[in-house]
Amino acid sequence: MPGFIKPQLATLRGKAPSGEHWLHEIKYDGYRIQLHLEHGKAKAFTRTGLNWIKRFSLIAAAFDIPGEAIIDGEVVVVHEGRTSFSELQADLAKGDQDRLLFYAFDLLWLDGKDLRKLQQLERKRLLKELFDTHALEAPALFSEYVVGDGQRLFEHAAKLNYEGIISKRADAPYRSERTEAWLKVKSVHKGKFPVVGFVKDAAGVAALYLGKQEGKELVYLGKVGTGWSRTISGQIRKQLDTVVSPKSKLTKPIRKPKATWVEPRFYADVEYRDITSEGLLRASSFKGLTKSK
């Protein structure tokens, strides 16, 4: 039985493919884990090859099978109807495994046989058979899929605020690299947030500090530091220089030694993946700046 296998990775695309030679799954927002089961013993490798079995011991125990298997999947926490990376981080920080789920989406090894050269659809069939044969139950879950129209699944996923979908060539083998045989299409959240400060750089701004109005309070929401060109950066700086404030306008001031604070009269249009358990934007990108009326 092999040791850690470098995982196959998906290539980002703007639109999902269609056709009978593609299968599509929900993209789970969690930790990629490669579960190694060997006659009652288990290892849980992260994407970089670290063994996190102590953190995922309850998941390993759910895979009560007598032989050998290497299963590729994602550990998640479901919060308010969708997988939440921030909730997962919070549970792992506390050492709490009660809410952890493992969505199994690929089978790489089974009872002495290397399955990586088999077609994707055949590996999915064998994985489903493994679940059915041993009556595996939560926190072990089989990652369901649809064949054909990926864009339709993506549109449904976006409406439900899921991270996106993964589209996979039904006839492709498993390859330990980023490939065109796996494609990811991501949905994003959009918001307009008051700019409460910025970090200077030679050309303009290096980052914007953002806030969020919660009732009468203006709370800190994190920062955005990507999404502009050098020219746009300079334009942002010129606009914000007109509303510089001697101190932060946040209800609860935060310590940011490099910050230049401003009156919250400009709003940043931002795309972001999620809001963490600490209440901060994750994977944010700047899209525009408007002045409040």
Rg (Cα) of the chain, in Å, rounded? Answer: 23
Instruction: Give CA–CA dist 140/127, Å, rounded.
Output: 12
In this structure, what DSSP letter does residue 242 have? G
Q: Which CATH superfamily is domain 189-291 in?
A: Nucleic acid-binding proteins (2.40.50.140)
Quick one: which of 202, 255, 214, 204 has its CA closest to 234? 204
- The span from the CA of 227 to the CA of 84, in Å, is 24
Query: What's the helix, strand, coil split of the chain in %, to 5?
Result: 20, 40, 40
As a whole number of angstroms, the distance between CA 210 and CA 249 comes to 11
- Assigned CATH topology for domain 9-186: D-amino Acid Aminotransferase; Chain A, domain 1 (3.30.470)
Q: Record the tokens describing residue 245, joined without a space.
A: 């404030």
- Domain borders along the chain are 9-186, 189-291
CA–CA separation, 121 and 106 (whole Å): 10
Residue 217 is predicted with a pLDDT of 95
pLDDT along the chain (293 residues), means of 10: 96 90 93 96 96 97 96 92 81 93 98 98 98 97 93 86 91 97 88 96 94 94 92 94 96 94 95 82 89 79
Tell me which residue has tokens 């969690």. Answer: 30
pLDDT at 189: 78
pTM over 0.75: no
Element (DSSP H or E) covering residue 59: helix 57-62
Contact (CB, 8 A) for 19 and 66:
no
Contacts of 26 (CB under 8 A, 6+ apart): 143, 153, 157, 162, 165, 166
CB 108 within 8 A of CB 115: yes
- The pLDDT assigned to 293 comes to 65
